[in-house]
Amino acid sequence: MAGRSSPYPLTKPVGTITRGTTGVNRLRRSDRWLINDEVVTTRLRAASNPLVVDLGYGANPWTTLELAARLRTVRADVSVVGLEIDPERVAADQDGVAFTRGGFELAGLRPVLVRAFNVLRQYPETAVTEAWSTVRSRLAPNGLLIEGTCDELGRRCAWVLLDQDGPRSLTLAWDPFTVDRPSDLAERLPKALIHRNVPGEPIHTMLTAADHAWARAATSAPFGPRVRWRAAVQLLRDDGFPVRHYRRRLRDNVLSVPWSAVAPLGSA
């Protein structure tokens, strides 16, 4: 798509152009989570300016338009801006969503929510902390950043939720019917964790325990993979893992823990 100049304060975009792979409905699982999560929805509803940025939407703006449509079910007056560091990928404004060039500096915007999916995946692990803090420093008061990755079809997804104080939680979400075991998510962990899935690191301990719980919950398999996962989560919790409990029935299998449960050894 043709590039165009920015209507927002001009700053040099911070970051690097990477592959623009995306897909229709690829980010549905994280969208579903966003519009149901209590922290996200409370902060979005309370924001004086309900501005949301989709950072690094790729070669087509599909996922940004989908995010906007889903967030409007939480707050009808949400305004969504897609930012891309590649000027050739800046899309035309459409369906009430604006698109412009920008990087981790957020083009001078101060959003209450930033979504960056499959962006840091192509950066070195050492770039994560600075990218996170650049975005976090640009958030509106009580703003949030959701930073994650997924596979091409969005069946296996993982993300970190951060606010101005740092990372709050890690969430893994997957298609109950095409994923064999929780550790299948390992290759889609966010950049901050993907290289830490080795014995001794908390993320490895948790994924190993999740696989064991999944195996022990096999007696629930006849009732389907969602019921089996709910049983596995209870076993994990019984074993002391602080896995978040969801009262409502979930379409996806979800494993969400406080960041402190999986933070890499030696991280602040």
The first and second tokens of residue 263, run together, are 């933070």
Instruction: Output the residue with the shortest Cβ distance to ligand SAM.
Output: 15
- Give how far Cα 123 sits from Cα of 15, 135, 201, 256, Å: 9, 15, 21, 24
- The 8-class DSSP code of residue 13 comes to P
Decide whether 15 or 182 has the Cβ nearer to ligand SAM.
15
The one-letter amino acid code at 182 reads: P
Minimum CB distance to ligand SAM smaller for 127 or for 186: 127
Q: Are 184 and 158 in contact (CB under 8 A)?
A: no
Interface residues with ligand SAM (CB under 6 A)? 14-22, 26-27, 55-58, 63, 83-86, 89, 103-104, 117-119
Q: Quote the CA–CA distance of 102 and 85 in Å, as a whole number.
A: 5
Q: Give me the least distance between CB of 68 and ligand SAM, in Å please.
A: 14
Least distance from ligand SAM to the Cβ atom of residue 103, Å:
4
For residues 8 and 108, give the distance between their C-alpha atoms in angstroms, rounded to a whole number: 7
CB of 105 to ligand SAM, least distance (A): 9
- Select 21 or 94, whichever has its Cβ closest to ligand SAM: 21
Q: How far is the CB of 218 from ligand SAM (least distance, A)?
A: 33
User: From CA 121, how far away is CA 238, in angstroms rounded?
Assistant: 33
Nearer to ligand SAM, 59 or 250 (CB): 59
